[in-house]
Structures are given as structure tokens and as C-alpha cells.
Amino acid sequence: MSTEQLTPMPTDWQRALAIVAHPDDLEYGVSAAIARWTDEGRTVAYLLATVGEAGIDGIAPEECGPLRAREQWAAAAEVGVDSVEFLDHRDGVIEYGIGLRRDFAAAIRRHRPELVITLNHHDTWGGVAWNTPDHRAVGRAVLDAVGDAGNRWIFPDLAEQGLEPWNGVRHVAVAGSPHPSHAVDATAGAERAVRSLLAHRSYIEALTDEEPETYCRTFLEGTMAAAGKRFGGRPAVSFELFSR
């Protein structure tokens, strides 16, 4: 594991769009950074490819999807986010392809962010555990859609619908990457990050027998402390950053 120090995230942006696969993807760490950014007056919007309907074994998808969407709204509110959108891709079987890139390019043109955030697109989580197909497909499609959003001749029907090309994305930040390069001090957002993850109570109660708040706090404090070892000892959220 690298011991090279992480660089502070750039601040030359005002609007961010976070694009992930499922409810709870952003709450496993990223929300601490988002809380800090919204405190600074920056705008962050969420776009989720699914409603996470296949995420809880004991709850049928038609009941689970609306439940997890409600929990995602509550989780976003804890860190100052009031824009949450869901696409209609099927949880667990998202496919990388033209349709996914188009959906994300459309969202980028609509929100016109300078920063795009997504989740680990690599094959593994640090070489320890295999990453899921949904995360890999969404993360890779997001990276490609940033370029698609700025090209008038890719998905020309979007411009016909009033979504003009947007070349204003300066940075793409990949959370949970096994190759982090940058970080955000999570000190001020840590408690809200715990509450944000705890908002996914139905999912967490199905995931673990541990008391939900203890689980959320232990997990987040552990990941933030691990990133902080390469960020001056401060609790941190790490990102792999691609700048344009």
C-alpha cells in the first residue's frame, strides 16, 4: 500500500454532480466530503442509476425500491443535498454501453457541473475484494460520459431536446478507488456522514446483526482514519482524481 501523501482536492468549482449505481453508494464515505462542500456554499446533486430494488434479500423489489429511494432522500438531506434523481436501470444487471453513457451525458448537460463524482470503477476494492458489475459499469460510463457531454456530435438528439453540450467539467473524482491521489478533510462532516449512512436503516439492518449506529460509526471512522494516515493524520475522504 502506498504511503505517499494525498493532495487536497481542488476548489476551483461551484457545482458538482455525483453519479453512482445504488442508494447508499455515496454514504459509505463520500458524504463526509459532501457535507463540507455544501457548508462552503457549493451545490451538489445526486444521480442514481437504480433505486436499489435488488439490495435486500427479504424484501421484494417492488417494495424495496420505493423504500430505498425514500432512505436515499433522507440520507442526502443530512448533508445538505436537495437534488436526488433516479434512472430506471435494473439493480444488479446494469450494463455498460451506449444507453448508459447517453443517460449520464444528458444529466451532465442538464446539471452543468464543474466536478463529477462517481464510485470505484476498478475491478477490485484495493485488490482485496472483487468489485460488483454495477459499480464497474457505472464508474466507467461516467468517465466516458464526461467527454460525451461536451461533444455535439455524440448523442446529437440531446441538443435537439435543449441539452446543449457542456465542456465545463474540470475534474472527475472517483471515491473508493484503490489508487487515491487526493483527499478532503472529513472532520467537520464526520457526524453528518454517520447520520447519512444511518438513514439507510432498512438496508443496514439486513446487512449486519450489529447495532446500526455502531456499525455506521465504526465503518466510517475506520475508513476516514485509514485515508487520514496519508493526509496529515486528519480524518479524510480519498479520491482518485482525473482533471481535464
Position 118: which residue type?
T
Average pLDDT over all residues of the chain: 97
Backbone angles phi, psi at 129, to 5 degrees: -130, 145
Q: What is the pLDDT of residues 209-234, one digit of tens each?
A: 999 999 999 999 999 999 999 999 99
Q: Where are the domains of the chain?
A: 14-243
Element (H, E) at 172: strand 171-175
CB 18 within 8 A of CB 46: yes
Q: What is the pLDDT of residues 50-89, one digit of tens each?
A: 999 999 999 999 999 999 999 999 999 999 999 999 999 9
Three-state DSSP class for 221?
helix
- Give the Cβ contact number of residue 235 at 10 Å: 23
Pairwise CA distance, residues 186 & 148, whole Å:
32
Pairwise CA distance, residues 225 & 236, whole Å:
7
Pairwise CA distance, residues 239 & 119, whole Å:
9
Q: What is the pLDDT of residues 18-57, one digit of tens each?
A: 999 999 999 998 999 999 999 999 999 999 999 999 999 9
Q: What is the pLDDT of residues 136-166, one digit of tens each?
A: 999 999 999 999 999 999 999 999 999 999 9
In terms of CATH architecture, what is 14-243?
Answer: 3-Layer(aba) Sandwich (3.40)
Q: Identify the pLDDT of residue 1.
A: 56
CB 46 within 8 A of CB 92: no
Rg over alpha carbons for the chain, rounded to the nearest Å, is 17
Residue 120: band (very low, low, confident or very high) from pLDDT cuts 50, 70, 90: very high
Pairwise CA distance, residues 114 & 147, whole Å:
13
Angle of CA points 74, 105, 172, to nearest 5°: 70
* Alpha-carbon dihedral 65, 67, 70, 76, rounded to 10 degrees: -80
Q: What is the mean pLDDT of residues 197-204?
A: 97
